[in-house]
Amino acid sequence: MKNISVHRNQKIKSFLFFLALALGIWFLTKFSKDLTTELTLSVVYKNLPEETLLGKAALQEFTVGVKANGFKLLGHSLGRKQIVIDASAGNRINQSTLRFNQDQLLAFCYRQLPNVGVLSLDLQELLIPLDQMASKLVPVVFKGDVVLKQGFRAVSELTITPQQIKLFGPQNSIELIDSITTELMTISGLDEDLDQLLALELPENNEITLSSKQVQVIMEVEEFAQKKLVLPVEMLNVPRGTELKIFPESMTVQFEVSVAQFNQVVPASFKLVCDFSEKITEDSFMIPKLVIKPNGIIKTELSHKKVDYVIFKD
C-alpha cells in the first residue's frame, strides 16, 4: 500500500510539472505576439489659461485602441495610465471653452505612450470647460526673527519684494483671505546683508493659486563702532556789543558709526550751537544743539546738557 501511495504522488507531481510547463509555454507564446486591446487613460490637465479653473464637467478619462507586444501591454494594464493634456496648445473657442481636435489628442498619445502603437481614439474632439477665477491682491506678512551679531546693526528696514501677492481662485474662497504669510525664518548672529528668497505658506484650499510662491527678503547690515570727537560751541544771535563768556567752550560728542564710515566722520562733519536768543535768563544757561551731523550715525550724546554763560558789562 505504501508503494502504491508513493507512486500516485509521483504521478501527481509529474502532472503538475507538465501542466505548469504547458501553461508557461502558452503564456510565452501568447504574450510574445503583438496584440490589440483598449486602454483607459485618466486625464490630467496642465497649463490652464491664467485666471481660469478647470470646469467640473471636464472629461476625466477616455479610451484608446492600441497594438503592441503582449508583455508591454501587460505592463500598461497593471497600472492606471495617465495622459497629460497641455491646455496651452488648445484652441480657445470662447472664454469658457478650449478645444482639441482628434489629431492633437493622438499626438499626445503618441508622445506619452511610446511603447505601444496607438490605433484609434474614442473621441473626435475634446472640449475643456473653463471657469473664470476671481482675483484679489493681499499683503505679504513676514514671519520670523532676525537677531544681529553684537556690534552689527540694520541700516535699512527689512523689506519684502513683492509686498503684495495676487490670489486667484473661487470668489467665496479668496474673500476669506486677508494676507499671505511667509514661511518661518529664524536667523541668529547675522553679520552681513540679508538677501534671501523665502517661500510663502500656501493656502490649504488647493483651488487657490498665487501669482508668486516666494518673495525676496532684504535688509542691509553693517558693523558699528563707538567714536568720540571734541566739538567747539558756536554762539548764535549774540547782540552786537555784548561780551560773553561760556562754559564749556567745547564738549565731547559720542556716537556710533558704521566701520565703513568711521574715518570719514570728523569734527567738521558737525555743527554744535547755542542760541543766545533762547537763553534761560534766570539760571544763565543755554541748551546746546547739534544742528548738523552726518547721516548714518546713531546714539548721539553730548557730554554736557547745558552751557553756562556770563555777560561782561562795561
Q: Which of 155, 246, 159 is nearest to 192 (CA)?
A: 155
Higher pLDDT, 95 or 236: 236
- Checking if the pLDDT of 69 tops 60, the result is no
Per-residue confidence (pLDDT) for residue 180, from 0 to 100: 96
Q: Which of 52, 78, 76, 50 is nearest to 64 (CA)?
A: 76
Q: Which of 184, 183, 217, 216 is nearest to 201 (CA)?
A: 183
The most confident of the ranges 7-11, 75-79, 291-295 is 291-295
Report the amino acid identity of residue 14: S
- Checking if the pLDDT of 28 tops 60, the result is no
- Checking if the pLDDT of 314 tops 60, the result is no
β partners of residue 47: none
Cα–Cα distances (Å) from 242 to 246, 272, 284, in that order, read 13, 21, 15
- Checking if the pLDDT of 147 tops 50, the result is yes
β partners of residue 185: 144
Cα distance between residue 186 and residue 287, in whole Å: 45
Cα distance between residue 253 and residue 227, in whole Å: 8
Per-residue confidence (pLDDT) for residue 106, from 0 to 100: 87
User: Do residues 259 and 222 lie in contact, with contact meaning Cβ atoms separated by under 8 Å?
Assistant: yes
- Checking if the pLDDT of 121 tops 70, the result is yes
Per-residue confidence (pLDDT) for residue 71, from 0 to 100: 45
CATH class of the structural domain 33-132: mainly beta
Average pLDDT over residues 152-164: 94
196: which 3 cell numbers?
A: 534671501
β partners of residue 302: 253
Pairing of strands 271-275, 221-236: parallel
Residue 290's H or E segment, with its range, is strand 289-292
Per-residue confidence (pLDDT) for residue 31, from 0 to 100: 46
Per-residue confidence (pLDDT) for residue 64, from 0 to 100: 84
CATH superfamily of 134-219: YbbR-like domain (2.170.120.40)
- Checking if the pLDDT of 29 tops 80, the result is no
Of 99-103, 119-123, 288-292, 295-299, least confident by mean pLDDT is: 119-123
Number of residues in the chain: 314
Higher pLDDT, 255 or 282: 255
Of 57-71, 210-224, 268-282, least confident by mean pLDDT is: 57-71
Per-residue confidence (pLDDT) for residue 19, from 0 to 100: 57
**The CATH number fitting domain 224-312, selected from 2.60.40.1080, 2.40.160.40, 3.30.70.100, 2.170.120.30:** 2.170.120.30
* CB burial of residue 224 (10 Å; 0-12, 13-18, 19+): buried
Average pLDDT over residues 115-137: 84
Per-residue confidence (pLDDT) for residue 129, from 0 to 100: 92
Mean pLDDT value across the chain: 85
Q: How confident is the model at residue 52 (pLDDT cuts 50, 70, 90)?
A: confident
- Checking if the pLDDT of 27 tops 50, the result is no
